C-alpha cells in the first residue's frame, strides 16, 4: 500500500544527544540552574552556604515548602490553585498547640487529629471547587481569609507554646546513629553518610534496571553518556551533602519525611493510573470525562491531599518555632505556588513534574538563605525572587514557542 510507502520519510531518526538535550532542555536547565545558584552563593558567601550548620538550616527552613509544593503541584496540574495553604499552616499549628499545651494531649493523637483536620479543610474547599464548579481561586481565597481568622481566634491573638520535646523532634530532631558508636567515629554521624551512599546507589540501580528493560522493548531513552553523567553527578552530590550533614548532627528527621514524600509523589504522578488521570484532567477536562474518568472526584481528592500536606507542614513549622503564632504561615502559599511554576508547571494545567517543583522550592530556598547570609534586606529579596519567577516562566513560554 502506498500509505506505507509514505512512512519511511517520517520514520524517527536515531535521536542524537543534542536533540535529546534540546527536547529535555527544561528538565536539565532546572537542575543546572539550581547547581549554578548554589555555586554562586557558595562563592559570594565565602563558603558559608554549604557549611554543615547552614546546610542543616537550609533543609529545615525549606522542608515545609517542599512538602506543600508536592500537593500544590497536583492541584496545579489538575488545573486549579490553592491560596489557602499558608492559612492552613497557621490554623493547624494553632490547633495542635491548643491540643498539646492547653489540653495536654500526647503529640501522636494531636498529629493524627491535625492531619484529619487538614483533610477536612481540603475536602470542604474541594467540594465547592469540584462539585459546584466554583473557581478554585475564589474558594481558596475565601479559605485563606477564613482559616487565618480562625487561627487568630483559636489563639486569641497570643502565641502558644512551648511544645513537648517529642513533638519538637519532628522538626529539630536528627536520626539516631546506631553505626557511629560501633565504628567509634565520635562527632561524625556515620549512619547519615551510609544512608547517603546507599540511597543514591539504590536509585541508580533501579534506573539501570529500567534502562535494561526499556532497551529490551526497544524504547528510546536518555543517551547513555548523559545517563552516566547524571548518575555520577547524583551520587557525588548526595554523598557530598551526606558527608557535610554527617559532620554536623546528621540527617534531620524532617529530611527523611520529605525525601519519602518526594519519592512517593514522584511515583504516584509518573507511574500510577491516578497520577495519569490527574494530568489528563488538567490537560483536557472534557476529554478526560468522556474517557470515563470521574473528574469531579479527582479534583476533590487533589484538594483533600493538599489539605493533609498543608497540615503536615503546619505541624513541622510549629515544631520548628516551638510555638504557634497567629502569623505562622503568612504568604507561604506564594512560595509554594512559585516553586511549582519555577519548576515548570503550567498555569493552565496538565503540565508539571514533582522533581521540578522540588527543585523550584530549593531554588527559592537557596536564594532566600543565600541572600540572608549576604545581609540583603527582605525588601530586595522579594524583588529578586519575583524576577526569578518571572524569568523562569518566560523561559518556559519562549521554549515552548520555539518547539
Partner 1 sequence: MDSILEMRGISKTFPGVKALDDVNLSVREGEIHALIGENGAGKSTLMKVLSGVYPQGSFDGEIRFRGQPVAFRGIADSEKLGIIIIHQELALVPLLSITENLFLGNEQARRGVIDWTAATAKARELLRMVGLSDPPDTLITDIGVGKQQLVEIAKALSKQVRLLILDEPTASLNESDSDALLALLLRFKEQGISSILISHKLNEIAKVADRVTILRDGSTVETLDCHDGPISQDRIIKGMVGRDLADRYPKREVRPGEILFEVKGWSADHPIHPGRRVVKDIDLHVRRGEVVGIAGLMGAGRTEFAMSLFGRSWGRNIRGNAYLGGREIDVSTIRRAMDGGLAYATEDRKHYGLVLDNDIRHNVTLANLDGVARRGVIHHEREIEVANDFRRRLRIRCSSVFQETVNLSGGNQQKVVLSKWLFADPQVLILDEPTRGIDVGAKYEIYSIVNQLVAEGRGVILISSELPELLGVADRIYVMNEGAIVAEMPAAEASQEKIMHAIMSSAAGGTATREYLQ
Q: Is 287 in the site for partner 1 (CB under 8 A)?
A: yes
Contact letters for partner 1, residues 155-194 (x by CB under 8 A)? ----------------------------------------
d(C-alpha 351, C-alpha 369), whole Å: 29
CB-based contact 347:181 (threshold 8 Å): no
Q: How far is CA 61 from the centre of its chain?
A: 13
Q: How far is CA 371 from the centre of its chain?
A: 21
Please identify, among the stretches 65-73, 127-135, 167-175, 284-292, the one whose residues bind partner 1 according to the rule CB under 8 A: 284-292
Q: Is 379 in the site for partner 1 (CB under 8 A)?
A: no
Q: Is 272 in the site for partner 1 (CB under 8 A)?
A: yes
d(C-alpha 358, C-alpha 355), whole Å: 5
Q: Is 46 in the site for partner 1 (CB under 8 A)?
A: no
d(C-alpha 95, C-alpha 115), whole Å: 11
Q: How far is CA 340 from the centre of its chain?
A: 8
Under DSSP, the state recorded for 9 is G
One residue of 80, 148, 277, 385 binding partner 1 per CB under 8 A: 277
Q: Is 213 in the site for partner 1 (CB under 8 A)?
A: yes
Q: Given the complex with partner 1, which of 93 and 350 has the nearer CB atom?
A: 350
Contact letters for partner 1, residues 6-25 (x by CB under 8 A)? xx-xxxxx------------
One residue of 288, 298, 339, 389 binding partner 1 per CB under 8 A: 288
Place of cell 499545651: 101
CA angle 338, 318, 301 (to 5 degrees): 55
Q: How far is CA 17 from the centre of its chain?
A: 29
- Within 10 Å of residue 295's Cβ, how many Cβ atoms? 22
Q: Is 291 in the site for partner 1 (CB under 8 A)?
A: yes
Q: Is 279 in the site for partner 1 (CB under 8 A)?
A: yes
- Within 10 Å of residue 182's Cβ, how many Cβ atoms? 10
d(C-alpha 388, C-alpha 333), whole Å: 17
Q: Is 340 in the site for partner 1 (CB under 8 A)?
A: no
Q: Given the complex with partner 1, which of 141 and 226 has the nearer CB atom?
A: 226
One residue of 21, 105, 243, 294 binding partner 1 per CB under 8 A: 294
Q: Residue 121: in which H helix or E strand, if any?
A: helix 107-132
One residue of 55, 351, 376, 393 binding partner 1 per CB under 8 A: 351
Q: Is 79 in the site for partner 1 (CB under 8 A)?
A: no
One residue of 108, 153, 219, 264 binding partner 1 per CB under 8 A: 219
Binding site for partner 1 (CB under 8 A): 2-4, 6-7, 9-13, 213-214, 217, 219-220, 271-274, 276-277, 279-280, 283-284, 286-294, 350-351
Amino acid at each position: 500500500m502506498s500509505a506505507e510507502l509514505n512512512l519511511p520519510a517520517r520514520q524517527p531518526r536515531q535521536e542524537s544527544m543534542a536533540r535529546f538535550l534540546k527536547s529535555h532542555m527544561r528538565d536539565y536547565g532546572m537542575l543546572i540552574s539550581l547547581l549554578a545558584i548554589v555555586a554562586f552563593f557558595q562563592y559570594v558567601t565565602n563558603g558559608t552556604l554549604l557549611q554543615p550548620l547552614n546546610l542543616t538550616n537550609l533543609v529545615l527552613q525549606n522542608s515545609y515548602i517542599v512538602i506543600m509544593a508536592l500537593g500544590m503541584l497536583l492541584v496545579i496540574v489538575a488545573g486549579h490553585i490553592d491560596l489557602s495553604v499558608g492559612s492552613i499552616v497557621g490554623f493547624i499549628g494553632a490547633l495542635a498547640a491548643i491540643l498539646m499545651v492547653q489540653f495536654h494531649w500526647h503529640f501522636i493523637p494531636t498529629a493524627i487529629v491535625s492531619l484529619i483536620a487538614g483533610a477536612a479543610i481540603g475536602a470542604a474547599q474541594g467540594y465547592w471547587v469540584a462539585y459546584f464548579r466554583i473557581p478554585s481561586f475564589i474558594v481558596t481565597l475565601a479559605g485563606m481569609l477564613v482559616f487565618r481568622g480562625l487561627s487568630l481566634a483559636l489563639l486569641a491573638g497570643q502565641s502558644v507554646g512551648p511544645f513537648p520535646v517529642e513533638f519538637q523532634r519532628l522538626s529539630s530532631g536528627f536520626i539516631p546513629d546506631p553505626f557511629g558508636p560501633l565504628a567509634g567515629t565520635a562527632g561524625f554521624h556515620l549512619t547519615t553518610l551510609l544512608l547517603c551512599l546507599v540511597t543514591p546507589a539504590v536509585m541508580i540501580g533501579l534506573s539501570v534496571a529500567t534502562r535494561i528493560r526499556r532497551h529490551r522493548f526497544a524504547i528510546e531513552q536518555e543517551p547513555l553518556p548523559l545517563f552516566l553523567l547524571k548518575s555520577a553527578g547524583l551520587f557525588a552530590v548526595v554523598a557530598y551533602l551526606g558527608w557535610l550533614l554527617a559532620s554536623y548532627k546528621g540527617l534531620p528527621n524532617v529530611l527523611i519525611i520529605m525525601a519519602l514524600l518526594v519519592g512517593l509523589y514522584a511515583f504516584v504522578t509518573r507511574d500510577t493510573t491516578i497520577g495519569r488521570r490527574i494530568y489528563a484532567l488538567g490537560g483536557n477536562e472534557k476529554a478526560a470525562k468522556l474517557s470515563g474518568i470521574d473528574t469531579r472526584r479527582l479534583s476533590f481528592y487533589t484538594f483533600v491531599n493538599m489539605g493533609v500536606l498543608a497540615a503536615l507542614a503546619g505541624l513541622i513549622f510549629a515544631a520548628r518555632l516551638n510555638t504557634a503564632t497567629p502569623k505562622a504561615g503568612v504568604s507561604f502559599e506564594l512560595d509554594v505556588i512559585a516553586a511549582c511554576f519555577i519548576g515548570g508547571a503550567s498555569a493552565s494545567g496538565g503540565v508539571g513534574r514533582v522533581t521540578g517543583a522540588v527543585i523550584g522550592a530549593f531554588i527559592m530556598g537557596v536564594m532566600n538563605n543565600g541572600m540572608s547570609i549576604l545581609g540583603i534586606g527582605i525588601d530586595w529579596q522579594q524583588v529578586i525572587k519575583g524576577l526569578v519567577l518571572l524569568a523562569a516562566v518566560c523561559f518556559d513560554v519562549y521554549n515552548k514557542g520555539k518547539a
